């Protein structure tokens, strides 16, 4: 099959990491193609809650999370992209003595990393966040915690990529990846092949299958996370809310709708390509949300759905060069990958271009690390 297109960099995946990778690569005037098997932004990124939090990340992810918050803010303010991003601060809550102890341990460890945090006892919460319920015994406030609106961020990033000269094509499934000297030949289900100097695989749950043909067994698992959104209501909360045990994510958008998540698992899985609601887990999620923010008890749900999230065993991203393939790069697998998308895209662009990395210690994300 003949080569019909050539690019400096071909990005497989039209989600948050793929589009951010293309965005930062194009700032260096490289010729970039993005291909996506479905609609752009239709899978994991489009099914996301939009939480851009720092304090709910494990210690190994917090520097990446802080970098990402800065990039979200810069892209929206400096580049004038309408990402629906708001840095409004976040509360990580605890209910009961055991959870308070867990929260305090995490707070102490994060304080040692010089993360700006504030401990709030139950009495202080009445003034700081009067909308929290009496079941909440303590919380930690992090001013860096933020939110974005996925339904705005996706179209804005695609538009920015195309305005910078990038080519974005949906409905294009990659069939074969063939290293060829100092380039890579990629065959899709469209006529012809694409030759690129560098290939970035940022295909979320599909990354494992794509690199398998290159002899790489990527130990990524795929969660089926559930989310719910409410009807528009008056102001119920003015901060992002997360839970010490990682089982709740709450936020209210400017239009009054409230997003309820927290990683509660649905039914199905990636192998069967099914994402179904688990109604028992969904009820637990909604009840916990209403316990933390009682104002939600009288609010109607509009829709609930489930989406895939690829996660590596250590929950850190695979971010770097594929072992044995110096011009093939992968970016996937971080817990909370949506919020970390801009930082992952920025770092991958720097790796591809051979530039100094913006984040020290990025070697821990090496795809060749031992699990």
pLDDT of 144-160, one tens digit each? 999 999 989 999 999 99
- What structural domains and CATH numbers belong to the chain? 3-46+151-219+314-365 (3.50.50.60), 90-143+221-311 (3.30.9.10)
Task: Mark residue 321 as left, alpha or beta (left: phi above 0; alpha: psi -120 to 50; beta: remaining).
Answer: beta
Per-residue pLDDT at 3: 65
Per-residue pLDDT at 114: 75
CB 251 within 8 A of CB 49: yes
Q: Give me the percent of the chain exceeding a pLDDT of 90.
A: 85
Q: What is the pLDDT of residues 55-79, one digit of tens each?
A: 989 889 999 999 999 999 999 987 7
Per-residue pLDDT at 46: 73
Identify which of 4-8, 112-116, 174-178 has the greatest average pLDDT: 174-178
Q: Does the pLDDT of residue 213 top 90, yes or no?
A: no
Q: Does the pLDDT of residue 44 top 80, yes or no?
A: no
Average pLDDT (244-251) is 93
User: Is this structure's pTM higher than 0.75?
Assistant: yes
Q: Of the candidates 173, 167, 178, which has an alpha carbon nearest to the alpha carbon of residue 3?
A: 178
Q: Looking at 230-322, list the stretches that DSSP marks H as alpha helix, in order from N- to C-terminal side.
A: 279-292
Per-residue pLDDT at 371: 81
Q: Does the pLDDT of residue 249 top 80, yes or no?
A: yes
Q: Does the pLDDT of residue 290 top 80, yes or no?
A: yes
Q: Of the candidates 309, 242, 295, which has an alpha carbon nearest to the alpha carbon of residue 103?
A: 242
Q: Between these two residues, 22 and 43, which has the higher pLDDT value?
A: 22
CB 13 within 8 A of CB 146: no
Q: Does the pLDDT of residue 2 top 70, yes or no?
A: no
Per-residue pLDDT at 49: 85
Measured at the CA of 64, the angle between CA 59 and CA 68, to 5 degrees, comes to 135
Which 3 state secondary structure label does DSSP give 100?
helix
Q: Does the pLDDT of residue 100 top 70, yes or no?
A: yes
Contacts of 286 (CB under 8 A, 6+ apart): 228, 260, 296, 301
Report the mean per-residue pLDDT for the chain.
93
Per-residue pLDDT at 41: 84
Sorting pLDDT into bands at 50, 70 and 90, what band is 112?
Answer: confident
> What is the helix (H) or strand (E) element at residue 224, kind and residue range?
strand 221-230
The mean-pLDDT minimum among 30-39, 45-54, 203-212, 324-333 falls in: 45-54
Average pLDDT (341-365) is 96
Q: Does the pLDDT of residue 259 top 70, yes or no?
A: yes
Beta bridge partners, 325, equal: 322
Distance of CA 164 to the CA centre of its chain: 23
Which 3 state secondary structure label does DSSP give 340?
helix
Q: Dihedral sign, CA of 281, 299, 84, 39?
A: positive
Q: Dihedral sign, CA of 347, 351, 354, 360?
A: positive
Average pLDDT (100-111) is 90
Q: Give me the percent of the chain exceeding a pLDDT of 70.
A: 99
Sorting pLDDT into bands at 50, 70 and 90, what band is 120?
Answer: very high
């Amino acid at each position: 099959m003949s080569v019909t297109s050539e690019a400096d960099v071909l990005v497989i995946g039209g989600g948050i990491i793929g589009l951010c990778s293309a965005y930062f690569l194009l700032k260096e005037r490289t010729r970039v193609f993005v291909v996506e098997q479905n609609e752009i932004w239709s899978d994991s990124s489009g099914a996301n809650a939009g939480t851009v939090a720092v304090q709910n990340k494990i210690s190994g992810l917090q520097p990446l999370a802080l970098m990402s918050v800065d990039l979200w803010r810069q892209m929206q303010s400096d580049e004038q992209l309408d990402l629906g991003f708001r840095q409004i601060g976040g509360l990580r809550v605890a209910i009961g003595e055991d959870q308070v102890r867990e929260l305090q341990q995490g707070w102490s460890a994060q304080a040692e990393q010089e993360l700006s945090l504030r401990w709030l006892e139950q009495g202080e919460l009445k003034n700081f966040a009067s909308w929290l319920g009496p079941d909440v015994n303590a919380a930690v406030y992090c001013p860096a915690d933020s939110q974005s609106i996925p339904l705005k961020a996706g179209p804005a990033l695609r538009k920015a990529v195309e305005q910078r000269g990038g080519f974005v094509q949906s409905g294009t499934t990659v069939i074969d990846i063939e290293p060829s000297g100092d380039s890579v030949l990629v065959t899709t289900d469209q006529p012809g092949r694409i030759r690129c100097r560098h290939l970035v695989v940022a295909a979320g749950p599909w990354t494992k299958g794509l690199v398998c043909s290159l002899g790489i067994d990527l130990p990524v698992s795929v969660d089926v996370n559930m989310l719910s959104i409410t009807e528009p209501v008056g102001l119920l909360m003015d901060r992002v809310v997360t839970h010490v045990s990682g089982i709740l994510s709450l936020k209210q958008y400017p239009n009054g709708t409230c997003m309820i998540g927290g990683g509660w698992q649905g039914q199905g899985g990636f192998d069967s390509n099914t994402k179904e609601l688990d109604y028992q887990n969904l009820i637990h999620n909604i009840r916990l949300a209403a316990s933390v923010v009682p104002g939600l008890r009288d609010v109607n749900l509009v829709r609930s759905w489930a989406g895939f999230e690829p996660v590596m065993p250590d929950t850190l991203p695979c971010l770097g060069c594929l072992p044995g393939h110096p011009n093939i790069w992968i970016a996937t697998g971080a817990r909370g990958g949506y919020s970390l998308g801009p930082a992952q895209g920025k770092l991958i662009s720097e790796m591809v271009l051979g530039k100094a990395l913006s984040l020290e210690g990025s070697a821990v994300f090496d795809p060749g690390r031992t699990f």
